[in-house]
Structure 1
Amino acid sequence: MKKKCIWVFMLYLIGLSSAYAQEKTVSGNVTDQAGVPLPGVNILIKETTTGIQTDFDGNYAIQASQGQVLVFSYIGQKTVEVTIGASNVINIQMDEAAESLEEVVVTAQGIRREKKALGYAVTTLDGEDVAKRPETDVARALSGQIPGVNILGGSGLAGSGTNITIRGFSTMTGSNQPLIIVDGVPFSNATNETSTFSTSESGNNSASRLLDLDPNNISNLSVLKGLSATVLYGEQGRNGVILITTKSGSSNSTQNKLEVTVNSSYYIEQIASLPDYQDRYGGGWQQSRGKAFSNWGSEFTTPYEQILHVYSGNAYSSVQQGGGNFNASFPQFAGVTTYEYKPYDSVKNFFNTGYTAVNNINVTKSTENASFNLSYSNSDQKGFTPNNTLRRNNFSVGGTAKLSNKFTFSGTMNYVNTDKKNPPNAASTGSSNVSSGGSGIFANVLYTPRSVDLMGLPFEDDQHRSVYYRTTNSIQNPRWTAENEIDAEITDRVFFSMAGTYKFNDYLSATWRSGFDGYNETSSFSVNKGGIYLPDGLYYESRNTGKIWDHSLLINLSKDFSDNFNLSFDAGFNSRRNTFNSSSVQYDKQLVYGSFFANNFEDKVATDLFQSQENVFGAFGSATLGYKNFAYLNIAGRNDWASTHETGNNSLFYPSASLSFVPTSAFSGLKSNNGLNYLKLRVGYGSSANFADPYVTRDRLGVSAKAWLDANGNAVNINGSPVNINDSGINRLGNPNLKPELVTEVELGLELKAFKNRIGLEASVYSKEATDQILDKRLDPSSGYTVTAINAGKLKTEGIEVGFNAIPVRTENFQWDFILNYDAYESIVTELPGGEEDALFLSGPFSNLGNFAIQGKPFNVMQGVLVQRDAAGNPIVGTDGLYLTEDELGIIGDPNPDWRGSFINNISYKDLSFSMQWDYTHGGDMYSATANTITIRGLAGETDFDRSIPVVAAGVKQDGSVNDIQITANDQYWENYGQDEFKVYDATHLRLREVSLSYSLPKKALENTPFGNITFSATGNNLWFKAFNFPDSINFDPAISSEGVGNSRGFDLLTGPTAKRYGLSVRASF
C-alpha cells in the first residue's frame, strides 16, 4: 500500500511539468486613489486558480499570456479587470469602494463563500502570523490572536501538551478540544498518557499531537467558532473547528516562477521567572537549624558560621540506600565535619540557558494550470530544564494540476518525526507527587532551603545512589532525578490528502476528497536504580498507534436565477474511521545501572493492552439563498450514524440556520466614504452532538489474569516470577439506551468598517446549552460492576467576543495599525442528577481537592478544605491557636476568568517594522502549590521578618472572643496558611506576549543579486508578566495547567515555570 502511494505521488508530480505553458512576466505597481502603494492586493488570472499578491511596496509580477484578464481586488477598493496586451507592465490605481464585497473565506468542508453572505463568525489568520512567532507548537503561536480562542500550556517544558478551547465548555466529562482540519481532512491532536502509572509517577508530560505540524508550512488558518458554522462537520465540530491550509496544500501559490525561500532562526530560551528568596534565614524548624525540607531555621550571621556537614549523620546512612560510608564515597570530604551556613543561589544555578533553532526551506512554483510546493523543516529545542529536548523533522510535498478544462486534481503528503525528552514532572503539593511516590523535579528544586548548596554538593555516591541533605535521605536529589529519570516520546507520523474536482458546467461541480492521518508513538519512562522513590529502578514502555481514514463527496451548485436572486447549494456525505491501539509493559528491578533493556530487569510486572475503533457516517447539506447582494439565508443540516451507540440511539440529525443582512447595500444612504463604509448584521442557530467513547454501551469487565500461559497451560515465568497481564478497562455495566449529548447554540453578531475602511469591528454574542450529559454513575461492587454511563445534567455557556482594528496613520512610507481583542464567557451547571446537593468530581490531585460540577455554580469550580468561620466570616481558632477546619468540602475558587483581552500593535516605516502584543486576563482563581509552598516553608521574600516574635492568628476563639493565643511564626505559616483555601489566588495578570523588530533590505539593494527578498528579525516572547494578586516575591506565571491536557483548570501543582525566548531570524527568497 505504501509503495503504491509513493508511485502515485511520483507520477502526479511528474505530470505537473506537462501543465506549464508558454507565458510572459507581467509586472507593475498597485496604488490607492491617493497614490499610496497597496500591499496584499489579490491579483487573479480570470477563470483560473492562479494568483498572487502585491508586496509591501505594492509591486507584483505574474506569469500570464497575452489576451488573458487580470483581476485586481482589495478590501475597500473597487475591483479592476485588465486585459493583457503587448506591454509587460501594467500599473493600476484603484478607486475606493464604499464597502467590501469581494472577501472570500473558507468555511466547513472546504466550501468557499463571500464573507458578507455568512451568518456566523469566521476569523482568519495568514500563515506569517503563525510562523513569525518563536514557537515550535502551532497551538501556542495562536495565543491572543483570535477572540474566543483560549490557549493554555501544560508547563514550560519543551514539548509539553497544550489545551485549546473555543467559546468555553460544551461537555462536562468529554473533550472540549476543537476539531483540527489540515488540507481538508481531520488531523489528530491527541494527548496520550504514557500510562496511568507514568502519569502519576512522572507527570502528564505528553505532547499534544498538533506539535507535529510545522508552523513554517502554514499558508493560512481559519477558525469556525459557532455551531451554525461547524454543523457540516457533525459531532466532530461541536467545540469549534480550526481549518489549516498548508503551503503544500494551497492551490493559490503566489509565484509563477520557481522560488526558493529559506528561513533560519535561533532563540535563547530561559526560565521566565524565579522567586525572590529571602536571605536572612536558613534550613530548619522552629528557629533551629536542621535537615528538614523547610526554611524555618536560625538566622545567618556575619561572618557565616560553620555547622556540621549536611551529609553527615542520618542523611547518608538511610535504609533506602542500604547504608553507606561517607568518607569512602566522598574522599574529597574526608575529615571535613563542618559546612558553611550561608545563603546559596541553588535554584537559579540549577536551570540552564536553552535554545530553539529552526531551519526551513520551501520551494514553490505555479502556472495557469499547475502548482507545486516542497517544504522541509528541522527544529531543535533545548529547554531550560536539564535534559529537556525536542527535535522534529518535517517533510511536505503537494500541488495542484488542472488536467482538463473540467477536472482538477490536488494532493499533499507529509512525514514528521518528533523526538521529545524531559525529566519527570509529577504534579505535587509537597516533596513528592500527589500519589506519594513519584518525582516532582521542580518541587524539589524550588523550595530548596537557602542554606543548602544544591549545585556544589555531590548528588550521588560511587554506586550511583541519590544523596541529599535531609534526615534519613528521604528526599531525592533533583540533580539525580534530572540525570537518571527520563520521560521520552518518539513519534513517526504520516498524513496526506487527495482531492479531485470535476466541473460539469459553470454552476455545478463535484469534489471527492480522501485523507489519512496515522502516527506511531513510542513513549517510555526510565528510572535508574539508586533513587529514593523507585530505588530498584524501572522501565515502562508504551506503544500507541492512532489512525484516521476520512472520505467525503461534495456536490456544489451555484447559480444566479435572476438579477435579484442567487442560490448556492452543497450536499454530500462523509465517512470517518478512527482506530487507536495501545500496548505497554513495565519492568522492575534493574540489574546493571544505565541499561534499559528487558533482559536487564529481574521482573516483568505488568502488561496493559487497549484497542478502540469508531466509525461515523454522515450525510449533510447546505443551501444559501441571496437577495440583491444584501440579504442571505442559509439552511444546513447533517445526520450522523455512529458505531459507539446502539441501534435506535446511533442516529442524530442536527440542523442549523443563519441570516446575514447588509444594510449598507440595502440602503445606499447609510454609507459614505468618510463615515460608515460597511455594516453587516447576522444571526445564527446551530446544533451538534457528543457521542460516547467506544464500548460504554456494552458490558465490560477488567481482566486481571494471574499469569500468561503457554500453549500447554503453564505459567510463563521470567527470573522465577510469573508475568501478569492487565486490561486497563474497569468493570462497566453497559447502557444500551445511552444517547449522545446534544448541544445547541444561538449567535448574534455584527461586522462593520468605517472611515475609508480604516476602522473595523466584529462582535458576537452567543448562548449554547449542552443537555443529556454522559456521566458515570457509581454502582455497588456486589453487582459485579462498579460503574455505568447515564444521560443526566445540563451545561449552559454564554459569552461575547469582540475584535477591533484600526489604522490611525497611513502615509506613503509610514503606517500604524493595531488590533484589540476581547472575549468573556460563563459556563454554568444548570442541572445534575442529584440536584443542588450533588457535587460531581471531575478531576484533580485528590478526591477531596479538584474541579467539581455543582448545580447552579460555574463549571469546574474548585473544592477543598475550608477553615471554620463564624457568621461574620471570621476564622475560628482552636485552643492551640491554629485554625479549625470544616468536615465537609467547600468551594475554594472559580478558575474561569471574567474576561480576556489582547492588544496587538504594528508600526512600519519603509522597510522597517515593529510589532508588540500585550495579553491581559482578568479574574479566575488558581490553587497555587508553588506560591503557597515557597511561602509556608519560609523561603519567600515576604517571610523576611523577625521570626522570634510570637504571632497571633487573625480570628476568634470558639467562644466568639477575639483570638489572643500566641503561636510561632513557623506554626502560623506552616499550619494555618497551609489550608487549601489559603492556597488560592486571584490569577489576574498582564503579559508582554511578544515584541518583534524586522528589517527588509530595499529592493534596489537586491537588484543585482539572486534574492527577491531578505528580511532580518529580532523577536522576544513572554518577556514580562505580572500576576497582581500573588505575593510579589513569587514572580508567578498563572499560564499553566498542572493537570495536563483536559478539562481541569486552575491548579498549579509545582510543575514548573514558563519559558521566555529572544533571538534572531533571517528569511531570504530567490
Structure 2
Amino acid sequence: MIKTKLNGILTLTLTLIMQISFAQERVISGNVSDESGPLPGVAIIKKGTTTGTETNFDGNFSIKAKKGEILVFSFLSMKKVEKIVGDSDQINVIMKNDNVLDEVVVTAQGVKKEKRALGYSVATVDSEQLSNKPQNDVARALAGKVPGVSIVGGGGVSGAAANINIRGISSINGNNSPLFVIDGVLVSSSTNTQSGALSSSGASTASRISDIDPNNIASLSILKGLSATVLYGSQGRNGVVLITTKTGAGNNKNGKAWANISTSYYVNAISSTPDYQNTYGNGWQLGSGKAFSNWGPKFTPGATINHPYSGNTYATTQGGGSFDTFFPQFVGQSYEYKPYNSVDNFFKPGDIVNVSLSLGKASEDYSYSMSFSNLEETGFTPGSTLDRQNFSIGGSANLDYGLSIQGNINVSVTNKKNPPTAGSTGTSNVRDGAAGVYANVLYTPRSIDLNNLPYQDSQGRSVYYRSSNDIQNPLWTVNNQYVKEKTPRVNGKFQASLKLFEGASLTWKTGFDIYSETQEFFSNKGGIQIALGSYQKIKNTEFTWDHSALFNYETNLNDNITLESSIGFSIYNNTFERLTSNYSEQLVFNKFFASNFVNKNAGDFYNRESKILGLFGTATFGYKKYLYLNIAGRNDWASTHEIANRSIFYPSTSVSFIPTSAFPSLKSKYGLNYLKLRGGYATSANFADPYRTRATLGIGSNLWLLDGTGNPINTNSVSNVLANPNLKPELLSEIEIGLDAKLVNNRIGIDLSLYKKNAKDQIVNQSLDPSTGATSTTINAGELETKGIELGLNLIPIKNENFNWDTYFNFNSVRTKVISLPNGIKELRTAGPFTNLANFAIVGEQYNLIKGSYIQRDANNNPIVNEQGFYTLAPGEKVIGNPNPDFTLNFTNNIRYKNWNLGMQWDYVKGGDIYSATAYTLTSRGLTKNTDFDRSIPVVLPGVKADGTPNDIQISANDAYWAGSAFSSEFRIYDATTIRLREVSLTYKFTDEMLKGTFFNNVSLSLTGNNLWFKAINMPDAINFDPEVTSLGVSNSRGFDLLTGPTSKRYGLSLNLSF
C-alpha cells in the first residue's frame, strides 16, 4: 500500500518536472541604492515564488525573469519596492527608509489597522509554517509557534482533537477554547465527545478544527487579549484565531494566472515504546502463572511452560466453557518460555499521503481561485485511519460606482476510524464496562507472543492467556470494536463593499457554517467488556449563520491628528441537534443493523438554539504617527439569559506610543531602531449555555416498545437541575501592557506583553437537597485571576548574499489563581476521571490542582507502614499534583545557505505534574528495565512503623512494586518537564537554471520530521513516555494520562511546484 502511494507521487512529480515551457527567460540586471549610496544585501524575489537573489557590495544584481513577472525588492528598515519586468533588461531601484513601519494587519471584525497603532499584541504565523507539514491539523501545527498559546494533543489515534488554550483559563466550568474565524465568518470548533463504552475518556474524538486544510491557508493571525477581541464580544473572550484561506484572500492584482501543486508522503510511527526488560516473564512472586503481570521466573535457555491457552475457561459473560473444546491443538502442549517482542510488533508505522492543487488569477478588477486537496492517513495503531477531502472556490470583483463583491465556499468531508480508547488508571477503567486497546497491549507479559496467538474462536469470542479469560485480547479489540466518524461540512461567505465618499465605505457580509457529524460505535458480541455486542449511532448537526454590516470612516482631522473609525452590528445564530440510537445484544456476528439486535432503543433527540445580537464600534485617533488612542466597545444581547440580564456592554481602551518617532534622536542604525510602548484595558463576558434559566421538559420514546393498543410508548421527564432565571453572564476584565522594539539595524526584535485578567460571577453548579425536587442549580459565584508574561525575541546574527541565519525565541508563563468560590466553599471539582481523582479549583491556589488518594505519614512526613510492611491509605484525598507548567520556552532556528534551508524548532516545558497510569503500571507490573534487578532479594520500603521506629519489615520485590504503595494516586504523579525537537526540516529550492525549459517558476523539495525526539527528564528512563497528552480530550481537565495512547512521530518528503 505504502509503495503504491509513493510510486504514484513519484510518477506525478516526474511528469510535472518534464513539462516544457516556451516562455523566454532573460537576465535582468541593475543597481539598488538609497539616499546615501548603493545598498548591499537587498533581497530580490520573483513575486509569488521563492526564487531570488541579493545585491552585492556595490548594490548590483542580476536575475533571470520573464516579461510580465514582478520583482520584489526588500531590505531591513526600507519600504518594499515592486517592479514589473518589461522590455528593458535594466532595472534600477532607489529605496526609501520605512520610518513609519506602516504594516497593515487585519484585526477583529475584519477591520484593517496599522500595526504601529495597535495598543495590544497580534501574533501572525506565516502560511509556510503550516503548509506541507507532517501535522495536518491546524491546531497541532501551531504548537510552540506563538507565545501565550498552549496546545496539547490527544495521543494514540489519527485525527484525535488537540486542546488549544490562549492566555490561561477564564471559566471554571465553561468553555475555554478560542474562537475560530475563517474568511471573516465565525465557525464551529466543536468537539462532540461521547461517553460511550468505546470512547469514555474523549481522547479519540475529533475536533471540527481538523476539517481545515492547512495547505489552503493564506494567512493566520491570533488575537490574544480582550483589547484585541472586544469587537467579537463574548465569543472572543478566550482569544481569536483569524484564518484567511487562499480562496478568500481577494485580489493579488498582478494580472497573472498561477497554480501550485504540492504532494507529500510521511511515515506515521509511534513516538516511543518502553524499554522492556528481558530477564523475567509472566507470573507472580517468581513463580509461573497467568497473571496480568510480569513477576514470574527468570528466562533460561530452552525453558518451556504449558501453552497459555491450555485449560483456560471462557468468562461467564461469554457463556463459560473450556478453551480445550475450541483449541484442542493446544491441550497439554508446551510453549517456549522466552521474551517476545509483542509491543513493537503490534504498533506498525502507518503513512500519510497528501496531494493538493490550487490555482487562480487576479487583476485590478477581478480575481478567482480554487483549491482541492486529498489526505489519506493511517495510524501506527491497527484500525486507525483518517481521510479528508477539501475543496474551495472563491472570487472577487471591483464593479462600477465603488462597489466590490467577494465570496467563497469551503467544502470538506472528513472520515475517521479508530479502535476504542477508553481511559484506564491501570487498575480500573474510567467507566465500568468500557473498552480500550492500549493498556492490554502495553502490559502484555514478556513471555506472551501476542501477535502469534489466536485472538478469537470459531464463534468470534475473544480469547487470551488468562485462566479465566477476563482480559480482552487487544487483537480482538482492533478487529471487532471500532468507532467511525463521518463529517461533511460546508462554510462560506458573501460580502459586498461600497465606497460612499472619500474615506468612507460600507461593508455587508453574510456567512454560514454547517456540518453533519455521524458517529458510529461498533462492538461485536464475544468481547469481555461488551460481551453481547452493541451498536450506537449518533448524528450531530450544527448550523451557524453569521450576518454583519460595517461602516468605516477615516479622515485627517487636522495636519497632526488622524481618525480611523468603524461601527457595525452582527447577528449570530447557532443551532445544534443530536439524534441518538442504541442497540444491544447482537444476534448475528459482525452484522450491524437495527433488526440484528434484541434491544432496540430509538434513543434521544436533543436540540439547542441560541442567538447573539451585537452592536460594536471602534475609533483610533493618531497624533503625528507616534501617539495613538484606541477606543472600542460592544453591546451584546444574548438569548440564553432572561431579559433583565441578557444585555451587557464591553468597553475597551488602549494606547500606543512610539518614542522613536516622537524623538528621532533616540534612533541610531546600530542601536535602537524602533520602540513602541503599549497598554490597554478591556472587558468581556461569558454567557450561559442555553436552558439554564428556564425549566425544560424532556420527551422520550421507544419505537420498539408498544402499549396495549399497539402504539409506541412515550415518556416525559423534567431536568434534575433547577432553572435560575436570575443567572447573569460571567464578567471578564483585563489589563495589558507591553512593548515592541527593533535594534541593531533591525536585527534584534523584541515583543513583550504582561497582562492580568479577572473573571468573576463564575457560572457554576450548586448542589441542592434532593427533597427540593432537584439535585443542583446554576448560580453566579466565584472569581479567577490570571497573570501572564509573553516574550518573543527575534535575532538575525548573520545575513548576506549566500548565508542567512535567523532565530526566534518565545517564552510564556501564565498563572490562574482561584480567588473565591460560591457560598464560602473552599474547593470545587472541575474535571477528571473520578470524583476522588480529579482537577479541583481551590481558593487561594492555582486552578486545576490534582487531588487524589495518598498514604499515611507521620508529623515529619515519613511514610507509615503497616504490620505487613506495606504503606496504608490515608482517609480522603489531598492535593497531589499541579498540572500547570512553570513556563514554556520555544526556540526556532532557520539557516539558509544559497538554495538550502535548514529549520529546527525546539520546545522546553518546565514543570507541570501529570498523573501517568502508563508510567506507574508498567513499573508496578514489572515490565520495564527499571525493574530489571535481582528480584529474589527482599525489599524494605522507606518509612516508619506505627510506633515511629524505622521500618525494617522485609517484603518481596513483587509486593513492594505492586501492593506496597497501597495503590495510592500520589505514586502515579510525575514531573512532566520535557525537552522536545518539535520539528526539523531541510529544504532545497531549485535554481532558475535547473527550471529552464519547464513550466515551473518555483520547485522546492523538503525533508521534514515532527516530534522526532523528546526527553521527559524527570520520568523513569525506561518508560520513554511522552507527557504531551490529554486523556480527557478537549475539556478543562489537565494532567491526566489514562492509557489512551502514545504520541506519534512523523517524517517524510514533500514536493512543491508553482507555475
TM-score by length of 2: 0.93
Residues 695 and 719, structure 2, Cα contact 8 Å, conserved in 1: no
What is the alpha-carbon distance in structure 2 between the residues aligned to residue 767 and residue 28 of structure 1?
54
Partner amino acid for 1:771? K
Residues 820 and 844, structure 2, Cα contact 8 Å, conserved in 1: yes
Shift in alpha-carbon separation, 1:849–1:334, aligned structure 2, 3 A? closer
Shift in alpha-carbon separation, 1:840–1:63, aligned structure 2, 3 A? farther
Aligned residues: 1023
Partner amino acid for 1:989? T
1:875 equivalent in alignment to 2:871 = no
Residues 493 and 509, structure 2, Cα contact 8 Å, conserved in 1: yes
Match of residue 372 from structure 1: 368
Shift in alpha-carbon separation, 1:841–1:667, aligned structure 2, 3 A? same
Match of residue 891 from structure 1: 879
Task: Summarize deviations over 1:226-279 as a string: whole Å, max 9, x none.
Answer: 000000000000000000000000024375322121000000111000000111
1:319 equivalent in alignment to 2:308 = no
Corresponding residue SS for 1:585 = strand
What is the alpha-carbon distance in structure 2 between the residues aligned to residue 99 and residue 575 of structure 1?
41
Match of residue 505 from structure 1: 501
Give the one of 924, 930, 936 matched to 2:924: 936
1:569 equivalent in alignment to 2:544 = no
Shift in alpha-carbon separation, 1:98–1:391, aligned structure 2, 3 A? closer
What is the alpha-carbon distance in structure 1 between the residues aligned to residue 811 and residue 458 of structure 2?
58
Shift in alpha-carbon separation, 1:434–1:770, aligned structure 2, 3 A? same
What is the alpha-carbon distance in structure 2 between the residues aligned to residue 922 and residue 413 of structure 1?
43
Give the one of 446, 462, 468 matched to 1:472: 468
Corresponding residue SS for 1:443 = helix
What is the alpha-carbon distance in structure 2 between the residues aligned to residue 866 and residue 40 of structure 1?
65
Residues 316 and 467, structure 1, Cα contact 8 Å, conserved in 2: no
Q: CA deviation at 1:514?
A: 0.7
Q: CA deviation at 1:54?
A: 7.5
Shift in alpha-carbon separation, 1:317–1:708, aligned structure 2, 3 A? closer
Task: Summarize deviations over 1:863-907 as a string: whole Å, max 9, x none.
Answer: 000111112111111222111222121000000000001111001
Shift in alpha-carbon separation, 1:900–1:443, aligned structure 2, 3 A? same
1:560 equivalent in alignment to 2:581 = no
Corresponding residue SS for 1:981 = helix
Q: CA deviation at 1:324?
A: 4.4
Give the one of 657, 661, 672 matched to 2:657: 661
1:860 equivalent in alignment to 2:843 = no
Q: CA deviation at 1:700?
A: 3.2
Partner amino acid for 2:929? G
What is the alpha-carbon distance in structure 2 between the residues aligned to residue 677 and residue 42 of structure 1?
28
Q: CA deviation at 1:80?
A: 5.4
1:630 equivalent in alignment to 2:626 = yes
Corresponding residue SS for 2:994 = helix
1:948 equivalent in alignment to 2:936 = yes
Residues 898 and 923, structure 1, Cα contact 8 Å, conserved in 2: yes
Shift in alpha-carbon separation, 1:317–1:531, aligned structure 2, 3 A? closer
What is the alpha-carbon distance in structure 1 between the residues aligned to residue 108 and residue 611 of structure 2?
20
Residues 694 and 723, structure 2, Cα contact 8 Å, conserved in 1: yes
Gaps of 5+ in 2: 1-24, 55-62
1:290 equivalent in alignment to 2:289 = yes
Match of residue 20 from structure 1: none
Match of residue 437 from structure 2: 441
Q: CA deviation at 1:714?
A: 3.8
Instruction: Tell me whether 556-565 or 823-832 shows the greater mean CA deviation.
Output: 556-565
Give the one of 414, 421, 424 matched to 1:425: 421
Shift in alpha-carbon separation, 1:112–1:193, aligned structure 2, 3 A? same
1:489 equivalent in alignment to 2:485 = yes
Partner amino acid for 1:824? S
Corresponding residue SS for 1:220 = strand
Corresponding residue SS for 2:840 = strand
Corresponding residue SS for 2:317 = coil
Residues 62 and 255, structure 1, Cα contact 8 Å, conserved in 2: no
Corresponding residue SS for 1:930 = helix
Residues 63 and 256, structure 1, Cα contact 8 Å, conserved in 2: no
Q: CA deviation at 1:31?
A: 5.5
What is the alpha-carbon distance in structure 1 between the residues aligned to residue 80 and residue 905 of structure 2?
33
What is the alpha-carbon distance in structure 1 between the residues aligned to residue 840 and residue 714 of structure 2?
35
Instruction: Tell me whether 334-343 or 899-908 shows the greater mean CA deviation.
Output: 334-343
Corresponding residue SS for 1:812 = coil
Shift in alpha-carbon separation, 1:71–1:877, aligned structure 2, 3 A? closer
Match of residue 775 from structure 1: 764
RMSD: 2.5
1:136 equivalent in alignment to 2:139 = no
Partner amino acid for 1:216? N
1:926 equivalent in alignment to 2:914 = yes
Gaps of 5+ in 1: 1-23, 44-51, 717-722
Match of residue 830 from structure 1: 819
What is the alpha-carbon distance in structure 2 between the residues aligned to residue 815 and residue 452 of structure 1?
55
Shift in alpha-carbon separation, 1:608–1:118, aligned structure 2, 3 A? same
Corresponding residue SS for 1:131 = coil
Residues 180 and 241, structure 2, Cα contact 8 Å, conserved in 1: yes
Partner amino acid for 2:1016? A
Q: CA deviation at 1:322?
A: 2.1
Task: Summarize deviations over 1:404-461 as a string: whole Å, max 9, x none.
Answer: 2501111110111000000000011126621121112001100111111111111111
What is the alpha-carbon distance in structure 2 between the residues aligned to residue 706 and residue 418 of structure 1?
31
Corresponding residue SS for 1:664 = helix
What is the alpha-carbon distance in structure 1 between the residues aligned to residue 224 and residue 277 of structure 2?
47
Q: CA deviation at 1:949?
A: 1.5
Partner amino acid for 1:928? S
What is the alpha-carbon distance in structure 1 between the residues aligned to residue 961 and residue 533 of structure 2?
36
Match of residue 351 from structure 1: 347
1:165 equivalent in alignment to 2:165 = yes
Partner amino acid for 1:856? G
Partner amino acid for 2:206? A
Q: CA deviation at 1:462?
A: 1.0
Match of residue 107 from structure 2: 107
Match of residue 236 from structure 1: 235
Match of residue 640 from structure 1: 636
Shift in alpha-carbon separation, 1:61–1:602, aligned structure 2, 3 A? farther
Match of residue 1040 from structure 2: 1051
Residues 900 and 920, structure 1, Cα contact 8 Å, conserved in 2: yes
What is the alpha-carbon distance in structure 2 between the residues aligned to residue 78 and residue 1068 of structure 1?
29
What is the alpha-carbon distance in structure 2 between the residues aligned to residue 640 and residue 63 of structure 1?
54
Partner amino acid for 1:680? K
Task: Summarize deviations over 1:504-554 as a string: whole Å, max 9, x none.
Answer: 122000111110000000001000111111111100000000010001101
What is the alpha-carbon distance in structure 2 between the residues aligned to residue 1054 and residue 427 of structure 1?
6
Q: CA deviation at 1:319?
A: 2.4
Instruction: Tell me whether 871-880 or 638-647 shows the greater mean CA deviation.
Output: 871-880
Residues 606 and 725, structure 1, Cα contact 8 Å, conserved in 2: no
Partner amino acid for 1:318? A
Corresponding residue SS for 2:452 = coil
Shift in alpha-carbon separation, 1:486–1:90, aligned structure 2, 3 A? farther
Corresponding residue SS for 2:354 = strand
Task: Summarize deviations over 1:386-419 as a string: whole Å, max 9, x none.
Answer: 0100000000000211112501111110111000
Match of residue 7 from structure 2: none
Q: Percent identity?
A: 51
Shift in alpha-carbon separation, 1:212–1:419, aligned structure 2, 3 A? same
Match of residue 14 from structure 1: none
What is the alpha-carbon distance in structure 2 between the residues aligned to residue 81 and residue 467 of structure 1?
71
Shift in alpha-carbon separation, 1:818–1:40, aligned structure 2, 3 A? farther
Match of residue 307 from structure 1: 305
Task: Summarize deviations over 1:103-138 as a string: whole Å, max 9, x none.
Answer: 111100011111000000001112111103211111
Corresponding residue SS for 2:632 = strand
What is the alpha-carbon distance in structure 2 between the residues aligned to residue 418 and residue 537 of structure 1?
27
What is the alpha-carbon distance in structure 1 between the residues aligned to residue 368 and residue 827 of structure 2?
56
Residues 748 and 765, structure 1, Cα contact 8 Å, conserved in 2: yes
What is the alpha-carbon distance in structure 2 between the residues aligned to residue 30 and residue 780 of structure 1?
84
Task: Summarize deviations over 1:616-661 as a string: whole Å, max 9, x none.
Answer: 0000000000000000000000000000000110000010000000
Residues 441 and 481, structure 1, Cα contact 8 Å, conserved in 2: yes
Match of residue 258 from structure 2: 259
Residues 98 and 673, structure 1, Cα contact 8 Å, conserved in 2: no
What is the alpha-carbon distance in structure 2 between the residues aligned to residue 135 and residue 674 of structure 1?
40
What is the alpha-carbon distance in structure 2 between the residues aligned to residue 1059 and residue 726 of structure 1?
47
Partner amino acid for 1:407? L
TM-score by length of 1: 0.92
Residues 832 and 838, structure 2, Cα contact 8 Å, conserved in 1: yes
Partner amino acid for 2:317? Q
Match of residue 268 from structure 1: 267
Match of residue 17 from structure 1: none
